[in-house]
Amino acid sequence: MYNVFGDFMERLQKIIASKGYCSRRKAEELISSGKVKVNGNIIKELGYKADHSDFIEVEGNPLGDKEDKVYYLLNKPRGIITSSNDDKGRKTVVDLIKTDKRIYPVGRLDYDTTGLLILTNDGDLTRYLTHPKNNIEKVYVAKVKGLINKEDLKTLCSGVIIDGKITSKCKAKILKIDKKNNSSVVELIIHEGRNHQVKKMLQTIGYDVLKLKRESIAFLTLDGVKSGEYRELSIKEVKKLYGEKNY
């Protein structure tokens, strides 16, 4: 959509995300809560369209020019908050990465969950990777209390109800049974990203999770990245995440 002056108009949340402030979903939350101004006026309408030349403030901060996009793969350790900041002063995943860009995590891992996490300032990629319709594969390895069996996993893979909604079909296999310590290790492949999903799915069939690690997202793995360390994604990897064929 163009205004009478020929400038390009876009939804406000898209502009905020494109300039690296936060994801589009987070931008929508900020708009709805009255924390966004355009040319001095508070905007709460999610359908509001603005121009990139408008003076936009988010949480009192002027929105700068469009930032260069950055992409990081982090091997998240235990005891770290998956957030850009924490009101209790706890260490976050963003604190582990040296960058002058305003980045945020794509999705989340629980405080005690470890493994692969992507951080970026690219709101479009964040939306693409987290939207259920895109079926982005995520592989988890869980250590659970109890001796899990194939029938339990068959039930799990068919879909179980968590938070009043059935989960999509998934894949799972037993990696280890430890009779001495009454525990099991299972691999679970899902395409959703609901809150505490893997833990809740396993609890539904009677197994509490003792440890949980995300091993991969799509084709990305933790190969060569130790716990607490990170690396930048290559341009080729970013294009492949977007599903481009000619990368």
CATH classification (class only), 137-217? alpha beta
Lowest mean pLDDT among 90-94, 131-135, 235-239: 131-135
DSSP line for 46-101 = TT-EEETTS-EEETTEEP-SPPPP-EEEEEEPTT-B-SS--TT---BGGGGS--SS
Q: 246 pLDDT exceeds 60?
A: no
CA quadruple 90, 62, 58, 100: dihedral sign: negative
Other C-beta atoms lying within 10 Å of the C-beta of residue 199: 20
Place of tokens 């933790």: 222
Catalytic residue among 54, 95, 110, 124: 110
Neighbours of 234 (CB within 10 A): 11
- Tell me, what's the pLDDT at 8? 62
Residue 19 pLDDT level (bands cut at 50, 70, 90) = confident
pLDDT of residue 101: 87
Residues shown for the chain: 247
What global pTM score does this model have? Answer: 0.75
Q: In CATH, which of 3.10.290.10, 3.30.930.20, 3.40.50.300, 2.40.40.20 is domain 9-62?
A: 3.10.290.10
All CATH 3.10.290.10 domain ranges of the chain, comma separated, are 9-62
CATH 3.30.70.580 range(s) for the chain read: 71-132+223-241
Q: Which of 145, 203, 135 is nearest to 171 (CA)?
A: 135
**Main-chain phi, psi angles of 175, to 5 degrees:** -100, -30
Share above pLDDT 90 across residues of the chain, in percent, rounded to a whole number? 65
Q: Is there a catalytic annotation at residue 110? A: yes
Q: Which residue has the higher pLDDT, 173 or 24?
A: 173
What is the Cα–Cα distance from 170 to 157, expressed in whole angstroms?
5
Domain spanning 71-132+223-241, CATH architecture = 2-Layer Sandwich (3.30)
Q: Where in the chain is the domain with CATH 3.30.70.1560?
A: 137-217
Tell me which residue of 157, 168, 136, 169 sits closest to 202, measured CA to CA: 157
Q: What is the pLDDT of residues 60-97, one digit of tens each?
A: 888 875 668 899 999 999 999 998 888 888 899 999 99
Residue-wise pLDDT for 158-203, tens only, equals 999 999 999 999 999 999 999 999 999 999 999 998 889 999 999 9
Distance CA 139, CA 116 (A): 10
Joined tokens for residue 97: 């990465």
